[in-house]
Amino acid sequence: MHLAPRVLRRAVAGATVALLATAVGCAPQPEADASATSSGSTGTTCAKGELATKTAGKLTIATDEPAYEPWFKDDKPSNGEGFESAVAYAVAQRLGYGKSAVVWQSVPFNKAFAPGEKTFDFDINQVSISDERKKAVDFSSGYYDVRQAVIALKGTKAAQATGIGDLRGLKLGAQVGTTSLDYIDDVVKPTREAAVYAKNDQAKSALKNGQVDAIVTDLPTAFYITAAEVTDAKIVGQFENQGGTPEQFGLVLDKGSTLTSCVTDAVDALRKDGTLAKIEQRWLSDAVDAPVLK
């Protein structure tokens, strides 16, 4: 899901659908668990501030541009404000890198998890962990449990939907490469082909202009859009998680990165000591109850 704030995931850029097809061609890798794969060297030590990063003594973190709320604030990932900026700096601190040692880099959403060597140490950009993406990149363990939501203009037929069946005949839209789009294709299974957009802003504009009946994005972004950007829109509802495990955002790393296990350990420690919950409460407190679409 990814809506001046980021619409739609995550989740989740100027990339094309062809780029996704390229990712499918990579050979699958063994997985350590259901949420993350740590295929980096098992002999890696996580000495604080001394990891084998892209630049010695620095930690390079990537995200998309613009960087939208509530994940970032004022389009400035380096200010430490917004959920993902705060998480990134908390992970960096755990790894032994203070704020002055963090270097931010702009990387389009789809490019972050496409095959090929990365220019960053990890990317944080509402990228949902999936088996398909694990074929091309490593993920940390999940730092946020997310649900997808449907947004429609008030007073429209789409706004009256109470279940998935009510969405099937509508024109729905989402950003390319996101699990938001996957939910349209795999859960709703609409009778009309989904509209696919390179940027979340384009999906939001399409909704405002009546080019689509509804758009799908992650729930926190949906709350922001309806409260601050498209105030004549409403959250129609949220989807239930599919399968036995929740959808999660994970930090993206090079396939086989020696940093994967260290970054995963950092995320796990932040979850265990309550830091992630505190950051979520501060920046995503509005992402609470919404009707569940079944």
**Cα–Cα distance, 29 to 263 (Å, whole number):** 19
**Cα–Cα distance, 3 to 111 (Å, whole number):** 18
Residue 232 main-chain phi, psi, to 5 deg: -95, 20
pLDDT value of residue 289:
62
Q: What is the pLDDT of residues 26-40, one digit of tens each?
A: 333 333 343 343 333
3-state SS class at 197: strand
pLDDT value of residue 255:
97
Residue 91 pLDDT class (50, 70, 90 cuts)? very high
Res. 166: pLDDT tops 50: yes
pLDDT value of residue 44:
60
Query: Which amino acid is present at 274?
Result: G
Res. 1: pLDDT tops 80: no
Residue 137 pLDDT class (50, 70, 90 cuts)? very high
- For residues 203 and 17, the model is more confident at 203
Residue 288 pLDDT class (50, 70, 90 cuts)? low
**Cα–Cα distance, 268 to 274 (Å, whole number):** 10
Mean per-residue pLDDT for 252-268? 97
pLDDT value of residue 286:
64
Locate 21 and state its tokens.
């097809």
Average pLDDT of the chain is 86
Q: What is the pLDDT of residues 189-219, one digit of tens each?
A: 999 999 999 988 999 999 999 999 999 999 9
Res. 111: pLDDT tops 70: yes
Res. 109: pLDDT tops 70: yes
Res. 98: pLDDT tops 90: yes
Locate 191 and state its tokens.
């009778």
Contacts of 68 (CB under 8 A, 6+ apart): 2, 3, 4, 5, 6, 7, 75, 200, 221
Neighbours of 165 (CB within 10 A): 11
Mean per-residue pLDDT for 258-287? 93
Lowest mean pLDDT among 4-13, 139-148, 201-210: 4-13
3-state SS class at 250: strand
The CA-atom distances, in angstroms, between 176 and each of 10, 101, 109, 111, 194 are: 11, 33, 9, 12, 10
pLDDT value of residue 287:
56
- For residues 119 and 29, the model is more confident at 119
Rg of the chain over all Cα atoms, to the nearest angstrom? 18
pLDDT value of residue 291:
84
Query: Which amino acid is present at 260?
Result: T
Q: What is the pLDDT of residues 213-255, one digit of tens each?
A: 999 999 999 988 998 899 999 999 999 877 667 889 999 999 9
Residue 251 main-chain phi, psi, to 5 deg: -75, 135
Residue 86 main-chain phi, psi, to 5 deg: -65, -40
pLDDT value of residue 38:
39
Mean per-residue pLDDT for 111-132? 96
Contacts of 202 (CB under 8 A, 6+ apart): none
Please, is 285 exposed, middle or buried when counting C-beta atoms within 10 Å of its C-beta (0-12, 13-18, 19+)?
exposed
pLDDT value of residue 228:
87
- For residues 6 and 217, the model is more confident at 217
- pLDDT above 90 covers what percent of the chain? 74
252 preceded by a cis bond (ω within 30 of 0): no
Query: Strands of 292-293's sheet, edge to edge?
Result: 195-197, 172-175, 214-218, 148-153, 233-239, 292-293
- For residues 16 and 170, the model is more confident at 170
Res. 186: pLDDT tops 80: yes
- Partners of 138 in the β-ladder: 253
Locate 43 and state its tokens.
């002999």
Give the highest mean pLDDT range of 172-176, 217-221, 287-291. 172-176
Contacts of 75 (CB under 8 A, 6+ apart): 4, 65, 66, 67, 68
